[in-house]
Amino acid sequence: MDTTQLLKGVLDLAVLAVLKEEDGYGYDILRRLREAGLEEVGDASVYGTLRRLFAAGLLTTYVVPSESGPHRKYYSLNAAGRDQLTRSGKTWRSFATTMDTLLDDRGMAA
């Protein structure tokens, strides 16, 4: 099954989860997602998701000047974002459990 298809549905949740532990800028967030195992995620997807979450009022941003390179725009969760993360996380866990059970019942190995 194509992971990119699955990613579309859960990228919001993944980005919110990554930002919960620590604020980050675009490329940083992408790198952390990949390190977490979502290797097929694309830069444009992450950037677009950040823009959308920001427009939806779930993120706040601040700019950190850098001496060596370009300025970096950091994203961080606000209250609404944390709230959204909690709800989406629950939905995902419930969904994942349902899928696991479905597959277990039919003897599919993990």
Quick check: 25 binds another protein (CB under 8 A)?
yes
For another protein, which residue of 47, 80, 88, 92 counts as binding (CB under 8 A)? 47
Look up residue 100 and give its amino acid.
D
Quick check: 106 binds another protein (CB under 8 A)?
no
Quick check: 70 binds another protein (CB under 8 A)?
yes
Quick check: 19 binds another protein (CB under 8 A)?
no
Quick check: 9 binds another protein (CB under 8 A)?
no
Quick check: 73 binds another protein (CB under 8 A)?
yes
Instruction: State the pairing for strand pair 72-77/59-64.
Output: antiparallel
CA dist., res. 91 & res. 110, Å (int): 21
For another protein, which residue of 55, 108, 109, 110 counts as binding (CB under 8 A)? 55
Quick check: 95 binds another protein (CB under 8 A)?
no
CA dist., res. 95 & res. 78, Å (int): 25
- What is the arrangement of strands in the sheet containing 59-64, beginning at the earlier edge strand? 24-25, 72-77, 59-64
